[in-house]
Structure 1
Amino acid sequence: MDEPVDRQPDGRADDHSGAPDWAAVHDACLDATIALAASLTPEQLASAVPATPRWSVHDVLAHAAGVASDVVAGRMDGAPGPAWTARHVAERADRTVADLIEELAATRAAVAAVAAGTDRPAVVWDRSVHLADLHEALGLGVPPDPTWRPVLASAAPGLLAGLPLSVACAGRTYGAGGPEVTVDAYELVRALFSRRSRRQVREWAGPTPSDDELDALAVFGPREDDQPRP
């Protein structure tokens, strides 16, 4: 689940304002992640995260810190594959939450600058997806809108372009046309980033798309295991 397929999302907002302010989205995700990390108990830190079943909450935070430091240092060999992400976790296995927060804070400005310079800010999408992973694992509900709605607006047009449906979501319609279906915005962004099972996606997509067409929506490939939902 850690390595994305080759096809990338469109990278632009589905409106007339151009790309989102990715530096601002990054900072919103980072602020929410740091605030959450600082509030966690030892039991919560040891909890498994269903979206990343090999990782605990602490491991997800370690990965977040590792991504930031590697982006700043240009240490991107193997990114975004499983060996690269596993190294983030292994290198920080013994670090405290305070250490991880310090590392995240220290790289804030440099990572935000990188994010601001691209239409396809993988580091911001990684921040957004994993923040929601933590919220779902800990039963905390939907994360703040500024941490995921811009990601949906950017990714949905390209990822849904070939789907034989008219997908109504938050006042917009995506897809190639066909039977109209309606989906909640948060559920859609989680499906697009491989955080919903085939069965869960089929609940809103209905019977028209083939399994292959549904599987092609997911940036990190399809998954079989149902995920917790707010």
Structure 2
Amino acid sequence: MDPIEEWSKSQERVIALLEGASGDQVERHVPSCPDWTVRDLFSHMVGLGTDVVAGDEPDDHNETWTARQVDERRGHSVGQLIEEWRRTAEPLRAWMRENGPRPLGDVIIHEQDLRGALGVPGGKDSGGVALIRDRFAPRVGARLPEGTTLGLVGTQWSWASDGGDPEQADVVLHADEFELHRASLARRSADQLRSWTTKGDVEPILDAFATLGDLPEEDRTE
């Protein structure tokens, strides 16, 4: 899979999603990013690309940086945001060819956040989702308590934190690949993680899944 091609495919899916959204829909709050509306989250996605191309990208993607992206586009219509994103696309692809496909994560993760807010499923089986799933599973592994191993088992994909047999790990979770992918991004609740646990005690390792913030209190299904 070409990660830059997957970025482009996700961009077009997001544009189609937002072109079909009503004015009321773009003002909905996003459950996975509760401080932002759909328009705000899209402003961040567009602003991230513009900033990366301009060489303005802090290592930690801090809240001040992302908030500025939203604030600077506060009065922009969805059409204006789409136009800016399309202008940025080829320079960003060139940047990724030189520097690596790190921006793929932002578009893949937030595409599903937007879909959750709008109630329009799609893109779950994309190559981009698979690439980001494989990128974030080791991040969960790196957060595990010392001496504890974790196995994630989907229908066609599995992973073990120690590189061994996932079913032999101390804690084993069985779920659909997409659910495990979203869980690794702190997009699934502790109750959901508990319900997928088929071996061991997930309680002491719940924090390992909080890679992008706290786990949500309510179940998520986007």
- What TM-score does the superposition give when structure 2 sets the normalisation length? 0.84
Worse-superposed segment, 21-30 or 61-70:
21-30
Corresponding residue number in structure 1 for 2:25: 44
Corresponding residue number in structure 2 for 1:187: 179
C-alpha spacing 1:49/1:168, structure 2 compared with 1 (3 Å): same
Partners of 1:42 and 1:219 in 2: how far apart? 32
C-alpha spacing 1:209/1:220, structure 2 compared with 1 (3 Å): farther
Kindly state the Cα deviation for residue 189 of structure 1 after the two structures are TM-superposed: 1.1
Kindly state the Cα deviation for residue 174 of structure 1 after the two structures are TM-superposed: 1.6
The sequence identity of aligned pairs, in percent, is 29
| Structure 1 residue runs of 4 or more that deviate by more than 4 Å after TM superposition | none
Partners of 1:32 and 1:169 in 2: how far apart? 25
Corresponding residue number in structure 1 for 2:156: 171
Kindly state the Cα deviation for residue 134 of structure 1 after the two structures are TM-superposed: 0.8
Amino acid at match of 1:166: G
Deviations 1:114-141 (A, max 9, x none): 334456x431101111100011111112
Corresponding residue number in structure 1 for 2:90: 109
Partners of 1:149 and 1:41 in 2: how far apart? 30
Q: Pick the aligned partner of 2:189 from 197, 201, 204.
A: 197
Across the aligned residues of Structure 1 and Structure 2, the Cα RMSD in angstroms comes to 2.3
Bigger helix share: 2
**2:187 counterpart SS class:** coil
Amino acid at match of 2:105: W
Kindly state the Cα deviation for residue 225 of structure 1 after the two structures are TM-superposed: 2.2
Partners of 2:98 and 2:186 in 1: how far apart? 26
- What TM-score does the superposition give when structure 1 sets the normalisation length? 0.81
Do residues 140 (structure 1) and 120 (structure 2) align? yes
Structure 2 unaligned spans of 5+: 163-168
Mapped contact 1:22–1:112 kept (Cα < 8 A):
no
Amino acid at match of 2:158: T
Structure 1 unaligned spans of 5+: 1-19
Q: Pick the aligned partner of 1:100 from 75, 81, 86.
A: 81
